Amino acid sequence: MTSLKPSHSLPICTKPARPYTHRTTQGLMQPPDPLPKALNRVQRHLRGLGAGDASDDEIEIGNSVLALRDPITGTRMSTPARFSDIDGLTAFDLEPFLAMAQRTLKWLEPHSLKGSCIQRLQVSIFMSSVQSTFV
């Protein structure tokens, strides 16, 4: 008859994961897009074009709203950030987001709650330029 009990025990060693510091996190972030590339992305989004789809050339009149307040704190953003792999014009404040991500260990875009990674996080040059016009 065979015993199901292990004949010996193995120690399991674990090392607690250290959260990233803000400096380390910013070193892992994607560099911001140049302003012309950011403007092109915004124009494509406002025109409703997907990945290079220019099949619909009709003129549309509409409004787009850009929020200057951070969805996490409800205050005006000091350093607007966004994930490069998530479409849209929305941004969030970098410092409160990093503090939240450090506590939760999740990289969720605050508006859509879509998951991403730290390497896709970048400062939003477009939103920074928009905010600078309202100072």
Higher pLDDT, 54 or 43: 43
pLDDT one-digit tens code per residue, 65-109:
788 899 999 999 999 999 999 988 889 999 999 999 888 888 999
pLDDT of residue 7: 58
pLDDT of residue 45: 82
What is the rounded distance in angstroms from the CA atom of residue 24 to the CA atom of residue 102?
A: 12
pLDDT of residue 59: 60
How far is the CA of 57 from the CAs of 50, 53, 54, 60, in angstroms?
13, 10, 7, 9
pLDDT of residue 11: 57
Pick the CATH number of 22-47+68-133 from 3.30.40.10, 2.40.50.140, 1.20.20.10, 3.30.565.10: 3.30.40.10
